[in-house]
Amino acid sequence: MQIAHRMAELGTETAFEVLARAEALAREGRDIINLGIGQPDFKTPRHIVEAAVKALHDGHHGYTPAPGILGLREAVCRDLESNRGVTVSPECIVVVPGGKVTMFFAIMMFGEAGAEILYPNPGFPIYESVIKFSGATPVPIPLLEERDFSFDAAAVLDSITPRTRLLILNSPANPTGGAIPRETIDELVAGLDRHPHVAVLSDEIYARMTYDGREHVSLLGYPQLRRRLIVLDGWSKTYAMTGWRLGYAVWPESLVEGATRLAINCHSCVNAAAQYAGIAALDGPQDSVGEMVRAFDERRRVIVNGLNAIDGVGCRMPGGAFYAFPNITATGMNARDLQSRLLEEAGIATIAGTSFGAYGEGYLRFSYANSIDNIGRALERMSEFLSKAAAPG
């Protein structure tokens, strides 16, 4: 057998490997606290589940239009109007099986040998993986701890070349929890005027998860970018629907046809019942979103304060999402070793910063989508583990 060379370029998401190892240890009877996986520990709200059940009983069993049923695309537009204050036509929405699919489509649409794609590093690992798979060259945008994991807009603009096709942004971000401030986005967008050949993919899947009254700055708020802007969002995080596989993107008019063709070639359409659930999520009560974000906020403070109280660990207060990204360089261990020892010796699943790119060395990602109790126990175990590891002899 001879498989295509590009398969060697395809990476993976370590979170799934850590989850498998954590589950294997748990099956052996070990008490593992999982702060590795990036999904809300809440159930999908009941009215959303019921809408899916009703759709099945009502006979919605067939294919739907490839970009999604019109009712869902209209619900997305209403949501964009009320949550981001922007008017978008349902013709520009393409519904896909999860946020990741938009990422894959956008990168494959622009990436090929000779092209360059800018992406955040440390960042969601699939960006770099699919850029390489497409044949394009990944060009990292370093996210800087001293800027609360935002970036220097001037440096990003300087790294644009005639070969740059796509610029990927993610705010609030995985794995850092960083949120890009409005001034930085303003500066970047103003500078992009000089580079009209560069398209932008803005991954806004954590848009509803910001803290301390911080606004979410959507790239949709910049009309001058619209003709070259793809905004990725979905239901996975906001409505605790990771397993439903439901996401969408706002595409520029000129790219909708290409995105739809990719959908037809790949998955035809998203399963119909999930799409009806998606309408119920957007049109129904939003209390569950607020409750979940309030719970995350409380855990955020507990975990960040707890991490900062441990010798050798320093953690910025994240502005969004549900991740803390402490600097662990003073422990004397690298990210991969500390991840592995915390799991095997202390029973805490975390993810090494290097799983999110080379600029993640010296950091660990903690997902605080877990109970306050478990977070507290994990912090105690980590503190004990590090004090023993630091003890002479």
Ligand X SMILES: Cc1ncc(COP(=O)(O)O)c(C=O)c1O
Q: Which residues bind ligand X (CB under 6 A)?
A: 38, 98-100, 124, 170, 174, 203, 205, 234, 236, 242, 247
CB of 257 to ligand X, least distance (A): 23
CB of 146 to ligand X, least distance (A): 22
Number of other CB atoms surrounding residue 86 within 10 Å: 17
Token duo for residue 137: 């060259």
Q: Which is nearer to ligand X, 124 or 276 (CB)?
A: 124
Bridge-partner residues for 367, per DSSP? Answer: 323
Q: Which is nearer to ligand X, 247 or 353 (CB)?
A: 247
Bridge-partner residues for 247, per DSSP? Answer: 96, 234
Position of minimal CB gap to ligand X = 98
Q: Which is nearer to ligand X, 100 or 132 (CB)?
A: 100
CB of 383 to ligand X, least distance (A): 28
CB of 149 to ligand X, least distance (A): 13
Is 377 exposed, middle or buried (CB count within 10 Å of its CB: 0-12, 13-18, 19+)?
A: middle
CB of 111 to ligand X, least distance (A): 17
CB of 309 to ligand X, least distance (A): 27
Q: Which is nearer to ligand X, 280 or 379 (CB)?
A: 280
Beta-strand ranges (E) seen in 214-360 are 229-234, 247-250, 323-324, 348-349, 351-352
Q: Which is nearer to ligand X, 116 or 203 (CB)?
A: 203
Q: Which is nearer to ligand X, 178 or 247 (CB)?
A: 247
61 residue type, one letter: H
Radius of gyration of the chain (CA): 21
Is 88 exposed, middle or buried (CB count within 10 Å of its CB: 0-12, 13-18, 19+)?
A: buried
| Cα(217)–Cα(206) distance, integer angstroms | 11
